[in-house]
Amino acid sequence: MDQDKNPLPDDVDAVVIGATLTGLIAAWELVRTGVSVVVVDAVEDLAETPASIDLVSSTVRDPRGTLAQLFRDLEIEDLAIVYPTPTVAVSRSTGKPLVLDYENVLGIPVSPLDRRVSAVVGAGSSFRGYLDRIKPVLTVGKERFIGPLVRQRLGPGIAQYLVEPVLRDRFGISGDEIEVNAAIPGLNEALTRVGSLSGAVLSVSEEMVAHETLHSLVGGLGLIYSTLLERIAFFGGRFITGYCAENVEESLNPGVVGHEWVINFSGDKSLSASAVIIACEGDNLTIDPRTVSEWPQITEKRTRLRGEYGNRNHAVYSISVMQCDSSALVDTPPYVVAENDSSEICRVERVSVLWPHTVEESPDGYELIRVIRRQKSGLSLQEQTQEIADFMGMSQLDSATLVREFSSSLSLDEARVVLLADDDSDAAREPIPTLSYLPLWPRNTQLDHVVEATRLLSTGIRRTILGIV
């Protein structure tokens, strides 16, 4: 791109680095309150981004109504759709997937003696789960993690074959790493009150319906992105593409009151701003500690900028959308997950069946499926379709064509945050509103958490820019 035809402004209130969905939500929260905003991105054409969003996911959860408020703010609430949580089926190495169609919360059965439970785990494991009701009350509510709790109360059979596959699909990690109240809010309290895990699950099941309900928009979640593009531009925000940010440094201009940041781009270009939001992977973006070590005396104590990167290792998943012959899939469950983490395929979704309003209508006799793998497949299309057929318990899957495929980091990483700390105390750390990383969806967190984080940060930026204490 000829950057002279897409020039940078001299200065602006806030710069968002990264035209991700996170970045656009942050820009929207700022620009609609009168803060001048520029969104910069190395990508030259943002038109493909909505389709990429729809490739990753068709639905999201919104337990606190955060996304519903965003839809109202963007005036797209009339396009909102609500879907129930799909019934999970668990793939097996031989035979058809086992459908977990009994009453449950995250695979934990309300009635362990339900014949549909015993059909999966066997009569012995089913009866072992029933014994939960006569275990001593004093052992209740003491386990921190959901995996050990289920094994202790309902037995290893129910834990391994019913609960663990659902937890791995829902959270991406083992139940041994998921805290009880993070998985099922209020379960520990209900367990102490009721005395049995299955009874506690029953008591919180109604609340969990709202917690696990899926939300989307007619036309897909990519509509959020395209609407944000329009609204940000309408309120005077600017999009500058084709610029790769390389470095962020504090300006030491003595004539500037408060903070001023300089964003340096490739090609010897730069842009000044009162606030910087980093809403991208940022792997090649540096914030040089030597640059910001000579801070002006903004408080009585000397302060310095510190970059905290609390990232844990994250998995990179390959997501494929394929168009398949519907007649070949007619007897297969629409939502099939892996039995354990040894499978290369994590999940197969029949998107056209589960969430028909979120995708374009397929040609007659065909439907879209989404396949999530642990890594990009090196197999041919024919080999991939056979792998999917085996996962779905089918003999073969004919007439499949690959629509789109890409790799994405999906993880529970801690968000990268830039913190301000006193030189003489590592304990005193507060986020700097004027220079911050934001969590990315779906890499770091859920979409409703992204909206909440951007709103909190935007409030701090507005107050700082306006000089409100």
Of 314, 332, 360, nearest to 55 by C-alpha is 360
How do beta strands 214-217 and 238-241 pair?
Answer: unpaired
Of 403, 265, 260, 269, nearest to 324 by C-alpha is 403
Q: In the structure, what pLDDT confidence band is assigned to residue 412 with cuts at 50, 70 and 90?
A: very low
Per-residue tokens: 83:
């879907």
pLDDT at 113: 94
Residue 404 phi/psi, 5-degree rounding, is -150, 155
Q: How far is CA 467 from the centre of its chain?
A: 34
How do beta strands 417-422 and 303-308 pair?
Answer: antiparallel
Residue 248, CA distances (Å) to 150, 152, 303, 304, 308 in order: 48, 51, 18, 15, 15
Q: Tell me the DSSP string of 345-381.
A: EEEEEEHHHH-GGGSPPPPTTEEEEEEEESS---S-H
pLDDT at 161: 94
Q: Tell me the DSSP string of 143-181.
A: -SBHHHHHHHHH-HHHIIIIIHHHHHHHHSS-GGGSBHH
Tell me which of 395 and 82 has the higher pLDDT: 82
pLDDT at 252: 63
Q: With the C-alpha atoms ordered 117, 121, 125, 127, is the resulting torsion angle positive or negative?
A: positive
The pTM of this model reads 0.83
Tens of pLDDT, residues 84-102? 999 999 999 888 999 999 9
pLDDT score of 304 more than 50: no
pLDDT at 385: 87
Rg (CA), the chain: 25
178 near 146, Cβ under 8 Å?
yes
If you average pLDDT over residues 45-73, what whole number do you get? 90
Instruction: Give CA–CA dist 388/177, Å, rounded.
Output: 29
pLDDT at 408: 57
Residue 445, CA distances (Å) to 22, 191, 409, 452 in order: 11, 28, 11, 11
Q: In the structure, what pLDDT confidence band is assigned to residue 137 with cuts at 50, 70 and 90?
A: low
pLDDT at 32: 92
pLDDT score of 357 more than 80: yes
Spell out the alpha helix ranges (H) of 276-434: 326-329, 351-354, 381-391
